[in-house]
Amino acid sequence: MLRKTKAMNRLKVGVLGATGAVGQKFIRLLADHPWFEIAAVAASSRSAGKPYAEAAHWIEPIPVPEAVAGMTVRACEPEALPEVDFVFSGMDAAVAGDIERRFAEAGIPVVTNARNYRREAHVPLLVPEVNPDHIAQIAHQTFDPSGRGFIVTNPNCVCVPLVLSLKPLADAFGIDSVVVTSMQAVSGAGYPGVPSLDILGNVVPYIGGEEEKIMWEPLKLMGELQADGTVQNSTIGIHASAYRVPVVEGHLLSVLVKLATPGVSEQDAQQAYADWQSPLAGLDLPSAPEQPVLLYDEPRFPQPKLHAPNENGMQVTMGRLRKAGLFDFAYTALGHNTIRGAAGGAVLNAEMLVAKKRIRSRN
């Protein structure tokens, strides 16, 4: 259930790549959203022209929402979605770049899960609780001369729990370096995902392209916004190893952290988490978790099966915060990869953009 928020006229949204795994998650999360109404679904030429329920190989654990099931799938072109106020993109990166650009150039904001524009100088890479000020980059984008169309991205599904779990320590003590090992669920590979003979009873110690994203994206997320609308990347040193494990949902991270401040005690670190306040407090965003980061005392927690669904899949959970030899601290972190790390993160981005009046009705 989404949080109860103030009533407002719902904005009309389109979902690009609506038949894929991420697109389906968007459909599910938006089905009862108090601020957003699905007005159009769009996908590849293979699906265009078909009823959504026929075009989508539905894999979500609820029925296809009735309001969407009978919608005709449209082409992923701005002229095919004239009534929408903005679009969510769950498209594959192989096709997302040009299509998302055309929507932005047509004056339609794009909130995307795809990676194509994450490194663009004036495109925000956004986790709202970590770098909400980066939305100011939108004003420097040149996709649409009127300034109405723009692109905002959310990061890789490992980077979300990583930066959220680091944020309280970074604010309190600064961070020098991080070593992270990610144990990533099979749903992160999309559908049909990893072949069963590769993953059942096994661990695959390599995910192509993943480690590079984990080592770079947090630097932009935790970087400083500059007057020219660019971001000066953080200088934190990050080393990452990514593993695919036989878990359906929930990416589990083992993290080692060296702080910029010497002599921080375990009690000091725990207090930093207790004291940290989300910058979203008071914005009344429907998808925002009440407690974005939860640190458990129980050493067996967090576990993907038990805790990935916390707060509708939007909470990052942590455990085993302890002193760590060559580094200052070690801990475990967990995030729901297809909700907080993908579609849910994008929905939260859009909610903040509405609250900050960056997205408005076109009427």
| Pair 130, 264 in one domain | no
Of 241, 179, 181, the residue nearest 206 (C-alpha): 241
Distance CA 134, CA 232 (A): 11
Distance CA 301, CA 11 (A): 39
Asked if the structure places residue 107 within a domain, the reply is: yes
Residue in 33, 134, 251, 307 annotated catalytic:
251
Asked if the structure places residue 123 within a domain, the reply is: yes
| Pair 184, 238 in one domain | yes
pLDDT score, position 8: 72
Token reading at 188: 């992160």
Give me the CATH number covering residue 245: 3.30.360.10
Residue in 157, 159, 307, 336 annotated catalytic:
157
Q: For residue 236, what are the domain limits?
A: 159-336
| Pair 140, 179 in one domain | no
Angle (CA) 251 254 256, round 5°: 140
| pTM beyond 0.75, yes or no | yes
Alpha helices in 236-283 (DSSP H): 266-275
Give yes or no for a contact between 151 and 143, defined as CB atoms under 8 angstroms apart: yes
| Pair 144, 65 in one domain | yes
Asked if the structure places residue 151 within a domain, the reply is: yes
**Burial track 197-210 (b if 16+ CB lie within 10 A, e otherwise):** eebeeeebeebeeb
Is 157 marked active-site? yes
Give yes or no for a contact between 215 and 238, defined as CB atoms under 8 angstroms apart: yes
| Pair 20, 163 in one domain | no
Question: Helix or strand or coil: residue 141?
Answer: coil
CA distances from 294 to 4, 5, 155, 301, 338 (A): 21, 23, 21, 11, 19
| Pair 68, 165 in one domain | no
Q: Phi then psi for 301, rounded to 5 degrees? A: -110, 150
Asked if the structure places residue 68 within a domain, the reply is: yes
Give me the CATH number covering residue 109: 3.40.50.720
Asked if the structure places residue 1 within a domain, the reply is: no
| Pair 261, 174 in one domain | yes
For 311, left (φ over 0), alpha (ψ -120 to 50), or beta? left
Asked if the structure places residue 116 within a domain, the reply is: yes
pLDDT score, position 4: 58
pLDDT score, position 258: 98
pLDDT score, position 362: 85
Asked if the structure places residue 37 within a domain, the reply is: yes
| Pair 215, 312 in one domain | yes
For residue 323, the Cα-to-chain-centroid distance in whole angstroms is: 29
Asked if the structure places residue 108 within a domain, the reply is: yes
| Pair 173, 92 in one domain | no
| Pair 86, 183 in one domain | no
| Pair 143, 230 in one domain | no
pLDDT in tens, 278-336: 999 999 999 999 999 999 999 999 999 999 999 999 999 999 999 998 899 999 999 99
| Pair 166, 151 in one domain | no
pLDDT score, position 285: 98
Mean pLDDT by 10 residues, the chain (363 residues): 68 98 97 97 96 97 96 98 98 96 98 97 98 98 95 98 98 98 96 94 97 98 98 98 98 98 97 97 96 98 98 98 95 98 98 97 85
Burial class (CB in 10 A: 0-12, 13-18, 19+), 169: buried
Q: Total structural domains in the chain?
A: 2
Is 251 marked active-site? yes
Distance CA 32, CA 344 (A): 13
